[in-house]
Structure 1
Amino acid sequence: MRLRRLGKLGDMGLATEHAPNVWELSARLEPTLREMGERGDIIRTMQKALRAEGAERDPMSFQIHGTAPATPIIGRVIDKHLTDELGENLTLVVDGIDGRTHHVSGFDAVRVEDARIGSVVEIGPADSTGRPSDRAIAGMAEDGIYRPSRHLEQARFEGRVPNGDYEGFVDAHVRRLEALRRAGIAERIDADQWRIPSDFEARATAYDAARNARANIRVLSTFDLERQIGSDGATWLDRRLVGAGASDLSASGFGEQVREAMERRREALIDRGDAVRQADGRTAYRRNLIATLQEREVARIGEEMAARKSLPFRAAADGETITGKFTGTVQLSSGKFAIVEKSHEFSLVPWRPVIDRQLGREVSGIVQAGSVSWQLGRQRGLAV
C-alpha cells in the first residue's frame, strides 16, 4: 500500500524514485496535499450551494479566489458563511453572469451585511485609488514641507469648505498625516511643519492598499430577478437595459437567466408605457427612465410608510438641502434609502455608508442627481 501511494505521489510530482525502492519526498508534499484537501472541501461547498438552488455546474467552471479578483465579478450570491471562529471573515459563493461560479473569501462581515442570498453583487479588486486629502497635502507642500497654517489660509481664500469649518477641514488633513507618520511615510518637524517625501501620494496609496487588501463588494440589488421583473422601481435589470445591455452575459448559467429576465423586464416596461418597441425591432425607453422609476417607487413606499408612522411623507427635490434626524433605512428595488425625520414630516433619500454612524442624530445633505452629498460637520472635512 505504501509503494502504491508513493507511485501516486510520483504521478503528482510530489515524490521521485531515484533507485528501486528508494524514494525522495518533495519538500512541498504536506502544503500541497493540504491545499488540495482545502480545495476539495471548497468544491464540495460550492456544489452543495448550487444544488440548493436547483442548479448544476461543471466543476471546471469553478473559480476559487485566494485574494481580491483582478477583474470585477458580477453575479448572484448563492452561499454566505463564516470562515473563521471569531466571526470576522465571510466567504461568498457567487453564480456569475460570466457562466462561472466564484468562491471569494476574506470579506469583512459588517461590509457584506446587505449581501443576502439571492442578492446581485459586484466584487472587484481592492481599492487602490489615491485619496483627495493626499493630493491636497502634496499640492500644498513647498520644497517638501507641508504647513497646516498655509493650508488654512488657502482654504479660507477659496471658501469652498462646507459650513465654513476651515479649522476642522485642515485638522482632518493633519490627522491623516499622523496616521502616515506612524507608518513612516511622513515626518512631523513641529506643530506647523511636516516633511513630505517626493513619492508621498504613491506611498500613501500603497499603505492604504496593504491595509485594505480585501476585495471590494457592491450590492447591485437585494431583489432577486423575479422580483425585479415586476417591480415599479428602478431595478438592476433596468440599468442594464439602458446601459451595458447583454454583451457580457454568458449563454449559460446565471448569465442566461439574466438575459431572459431582461427580456421579460423589457416587455413589462412596454406594457406600462415606460418603453415602446420601434419598427426596426429596437426598444426606446422613457426619457430619464431610471430617475422616473425611482421617484415612482419612493413616492409609493413613502405613502405606505406615512400611513404606518402617522407622519406625512414629503419627497425631496433635486438641489434641496435636506435636514433632520436619521432614524433608519429601507431597502427598495431602486436601492437603499435613508429615513430622515423632522417633527412634522419625513423624507426618503439615497443612503450612503458615510451616514451609518449618524443613526439617531441630526444630519444634513444636498440632494443632487439621485444622490446626496452629506455634510456631517467638523469630523468629516471636505475631500477626506
Structure 2
Amino acid sequence: MSDDEFTPRLGKSKGEDGKRLVKYGGRVLAAARLAGSKTGVLTRRFDGSRIGRGASIGRLLSSRDRLAGFRARRAIVKTRLVRMAGNGFAAARAHLRYIQRDGVTREGAPGALYGRETDLADGKEFLERCRDDRHQFRFIVSAEDGAEYPDLKPYIRRLMAQAEHDLGTRLDWVAVDHFNTDQPHTHVMLRGVDDRGKNLVIAREYIAHGFRERAAELATLDLGPRTDREIQQRLRRDVEQERLTAIDRRLLRRMDAARITSPAHNDPFQQAVATGRLRKLGAMGLAANLGAGRWRLADGLEDTLRRMGERGDIIRLMQRELTARRLERAPADRVIEGELNAPIIGRVIQRGFSDEHRDRHYLIVDGIDGRVHHLDIGRAAATEPTPEGAIVRIAPRSASARDVDRTIAEIARENGGRYSVALHLRHDPSASQAFAETHVRRLEAMRRAGAVERLSDGGWDIAADHVERAAAFETRQLRDRPVAIEMLSAAPLERLHGADAATWLDHAIASSEPLVLRDAGFGRDLRDALAARRQWLVEQELAEAEGGGVRMKRNAIALLQRRELLRVAGEIGSELGKDYVEAADGARIEGRLTRRLELTSGRHALVERSREFTLVPWRPVMERHVGKPVAGIMRSEGIHWQLGRGRGGPQIS
C-alpha cells in the first residue's frame, strides 16, 4: 500500500482477563531490579513540591543553583505563607504597621510603603483588597551587597516583575525598604490571589529556589560578578568565624558516609582556606584530624555552628545596646536565657525582633540580680507592649493543665458534661462570683483556639478529656508565649521614688517578702530608689520609722492611688467638659469604653457617659472593647464586667 493509506492500529490496554498488559521493556526493567541491578530509572515519591505555579522554572533554577560558581552575587530570600482566617487579618494589619515603623530608613524616618508603580502606596487600601484572601505571602529580600544600592526600589520591582513572568500571572504587592540593620533588606507583602482572583498557589520548588536565584541574578547583573579579591577577602574572614560559613557547607557536601572530608582542591587558595577552616573547627572541638589530610566532622556540625552564630549575634546586640545607654556590665553578667528556669525582675533595656519573618520578639532586661538577660518572649501579638524603661517580672510558663482546668472537669463530671457559673457556685458555695468567672475566662481563651464549645444558653459543653485538651492547648500556647510577662511599672524607676501616686516601690516596701537585690547594676539602682521612697513616705506621713526600716500605714497605698486618680480626673474633666464620678463599692458602671490610660499606679480605663465619666482598673481583655458600650458592678475584689454580650455571655472581673 502507499504511505498515504497507512493507518496505525492502537493495541489493547488490557488483556482478556481485564488485567493491564505489561510491555516487554517494563518486564526487562522489573527483572533487572529484582536482580539488584541499577536500571537508571529514578523514582520520586510524591511530596507536593511541584504543585502550583513556577514548578518547572523552580526545578531549573534549583539545578542551576547547585552548579553556580563563587562569582555570582548572593541573596537571601525568606518566605512565609500566612493564613488570613481567624486573627490573620489583624496580624496582617499589625505586620504592615511594623514594617512602616520609625527609624528604618537611612535617615531614621518611618518606612515608606511602595508598590509596582507608586513610591507611596496606600496600606489601608492594600489591606482592604486582602480582606477576603485565603492566604498571603511575606518575603524578606536581602542582597549580599545591598548596601551598594542607593535605592532598593528598582531592584525589588524588577525582582517582582521577573516573578510575574515565571509564575505567569500579575502579582499584587507592596514593600518597604529597611536600612536599620547591618544588611539592608526589603519586606514584601504579596496577596495570595492571581490576576483572575483565584487562589495563588506557588510551587514549593520556586519558593525554595526561584526567588533567591532571581534575586541573585539581578544583583549580579547590577553590581557585576564578584572579583577574585572580593571572594578571597570574604573566605579569609570566614576561616575564623564561629558560625556556619560557605567553607563549612562545601566541606559538608564533600564528606562521605563516615563524615570524613578533605581540604584537597585544584585551586591552592581554596585548599588553603579549607585547611585553615578545618584547623579552626578542630580547635572548637567540631572536627578531628585523622592525618594524611583527612578530617572527621562532628555530628550535628551544621546546627552547632548555626546556634553559635546566633549566640554571637545576640552578644554583639547586647554590647551595642549597653554601650548606647552607657551601662557598664562585665561579660560574665550578660546572660542569654535559652530556657528560663526562675522568675526575673528587672528594667527593660530593649525589645525587638529576634525573627522578623515569624514575628518573634526578644527582650533585654537589666535584672535586680545585677545581670543583663536576653530572653525570647515569643510572638509579638501574644504579649503586652513593654516600653523601654518599664519594670517587669518575667516567669517561665509550663505546658501542663492548670488547677482551674481540673476544677472545670470535676464540676462537669457531676453535671453531665456541663459547666456554668451557677453550677460552680452550687458545687462550691464558698466560692465567690468573681472567682467562678475566672474559670469562664479560661474557657473563653480555649474556645477561641477551638478546644471547647460554648452553648447557646451561656453554659459550656465540657468533654471527658478536658484536662488533656487543656494540656494540649497550653503546649500550643507555649510556642507562641514561652514566658509570662507582668508589668510592675510602666513608669521608669527615676520617676517613682518621688511620685505622688501608688507606685510599685510602695508595694515592694509593704510586701512581707523582701526583694533579693545584688549591689550591682539595676539591683543597686533599685536599692537606692527604695531608700529614697521610704524617706518620702515618712515625710508625707504615710509611713513610720520602725527599727532599721519603715512601716507603711494601712491605707497608704489606697490613699496614694486616690490622689493620682483625682488629679488625672481633673485634667480629663477639663478636656472633656464632664464631671468625674468615683466608682464606689456596689455602684453600677455604664458607658462607653473610650481609651486606656497609663498611670503611675497602673493602667486604667476611661468609661464615658453623656455628662460624666469614671476611671476603673484596666484588664487586657478590655482591649477588644475600646469604643464599645460596657456595663459592670464595682466590688471590693474588682469589677464584675459584662462586655459586648447579652445575658449568659462571658464576664470578667
Q: In the TM superposition, what are the counterparts of 1:183-198 in structure 2 within 5 Å? A: 196-197=464-465
Q: SS state of the match for residue 595, structure 2?
A: strand
Q: In the TM superposition, what are the counterparts of 1:297-316 in structure 2 within 5 Å? A: 297-316=564-583
Match of 1:47 in 2: 319
1:156 to partner: Cα distance: 10
CA RMSD of aligned residues (A): 3.4
1:106 to partner: Cα distance: 3.9
1:122 to partner: Cα distance: 1.3
Aligned counterparts of 1:8 and 1:290: Cα–Cα separation in 2? 60
Q: SS state of the match for residue 78, structure 1?
A: strand
CA contact (8 A) 1:350 1:370 kept: no
Q: SS state of the match for residue 575, structure 2?
A: helix
TM-score, normalised with respect to structure 1? 0.82
Given the alignment of the two structures, is residue 62 of structure 1 paired with residue 334 of structure 2, yes or no? Answer: yes
Identity %: 36
Aligned counterparts of 1:194 and 1:291: Cα–Cα separation in 2? 41
Aligned counterparts of 2:497 and 2:461: Cα–Cα separation in 1? 59
1:318 to partner: Cα distance: 2.8
**Paired AA for residue 60 in structure 1:** A
CA contact (8 A) 1:43 1:59 kept: no
Q: SS state of the match for residue 451, structure 2?
A: helix
1:285 to partner: Cα distance: 1.3
Given the alignment of the two structures, is residue 283 of structure 1 paired with residue 554 of structure 2, yes or no? Answer: no
After superposition, what is the alpha-carbon deviation per residue over 1:236-287, rounded to whole angstroms, capped at 9, x for unaligned? 1111111156541111111111011110111111122211223x33312121
Match of 2:473 in 1: 208
With over 3 angstroms needed to count, the CA separation of the structure-2 counterparts of 1:380 and 1:42, relative to structure 1, is farther
Given the alignment of the two structures, is residue 340 of structure 1 paired with residue 607 of structure 2, yes or no? Answer: yes
With over 3 angstroms needed to count, the CA separation of the structure-2 counterparts of 1:157 and 1:249, relative to structure 1, is closer
Aligned counterparts of 1:242 and 1:153: Cα–Cα separation in 2? 37
**Paired AA for residue 374 in structure 1:** W
Given the alignment of the two structures, is residue 272 of structure 1 paired with residue 505 of structure 2, yes or no? Answer: no
With over 3 angstroms needed to count, the CA separation of the structure-2 counterparts of 1:370 and 1:271, relative to structure 1, is farther
Q: SS state of the match for residue 372, structure 1?
A: strand
Q: How many residues align?
A: 360
Match of 2:530 in 1: 262
**Paired AA for residue 270 in structure 1:** V
**Paired AA for residue 264 in structure 1:** A
Aligned counterparts of 2:421 and 2:602: Cα–Cα separation in 1? 38
Q: SS state of the match for residue 355, structure 2?
A: coil
Given the alignment of the two structures, is residue 14 of structure 1 paired with residue 289 of structure 2, yes or no? Answer: no
Given the alignment of the two structures, is residue 367 of structure 1 paired with residue 639 of structure 2, yes or no? Answer: no
Q: In the TM superposition, what are the counterparts of 1:17-96 in structure 2 within 5 Å? A: 17-67=289-339, 69-86=340-357, 88-96=359-367
Structure 1: tracts of 5 or more residues without a match: 163-168, 183-191
1:110 to partner: Cα distance: 3.6
Match of 1:124 in 2: 395
CA contact (8 A) 1:75 1:121 kept: yes
Deviates more, 1:15-24 or 1:81-90: 81-90
**Paired AA for residue 267 in structure 1:** Q
After superposition, what is the alpha-carbon deviation per residue over 1:6-27, rounded to whole angstroms, capped at 9, x for unaligned? 3332232211123343211112
Given the alignment of the two structures, is residue 234 of structure 1 paired with residue 502 of structure 2, yes or no? Answer: yes
Aligned counterparts of 1:195 and 1:218: Cα–Cα separation in 2? 32
Aligned counterparts of 2:378 and 2:531: Cα–Cα separation in 1? 33
Aligned counterparts of 1:361 and 1:21: Cα–Cα separation in 2? 74
1:104 to partner: Cα distance: 1.3
CA contact (8 A) 1:274 1:289 kept: yes
**Paired AA for residue 36 in structure 1:** M
**Paired AA for residue 208 in structure 1:** F
Aligned counterparts of 1:131 and 1:119: Cα–Cα separation in 2? 31
CA contact (8 A) 2:344 2:395 kept: yes
Deviates more, 1:127-136 or 1:239-248: 127-136
**Paired AA for residue 66 in structure 1:** G
Aligned counterparts of 1:293 and 1:79: Cα–Cα separation in 2? 30
Match of 2:559 among 275, 292, 297: 292
Aligned counterparts of 1:358 and 1:285: Cα–Cα separation in 2? 37
Q: Higher strand share goes to which structure? A: 1
1:93 to partner: Cα distance: 0.7
1:28 to partner: Cα distance: 1.9
Match of 1:253 among 506, 521, 539: 521
With over 3 angstroms needed to count, the CA separation of the structure-2 counterparts of 1:195 and 1:112, relative to structure 1, is closer
Q: Choose 1 or 2 for highest CA Rg.
A: 2
Aligned counterparts of 1:381 and 1:134: Cα–Cα separation in 2? 20
Aligned counterparts of 1:307 and 1:108: Cα–Cα separation in 2? 40
Structure 2: tracts of 5 or more residues without a match: 1-271, 434-439, 454-459
Aligned counterparts of 1:15 and 1:327: Cα–Cα separation in 2? 63
CA contact (8 A) 1:114 1:219 kept: no
Larger RCO, structures 1/2 (Cα 8 Å, 6+ apart): 1
Q: SS state of the match for residue 7, structure 1?
A: helix
CA contact (8 A) 2:508 2:515 kept: no
CA contact (8 A) 1:134 1:204 kept: no
With over 3 angstroms needed to count, the CA separation of the structure-2 counterparts of 1:108 and 1:295, relative to structure 1, is farther
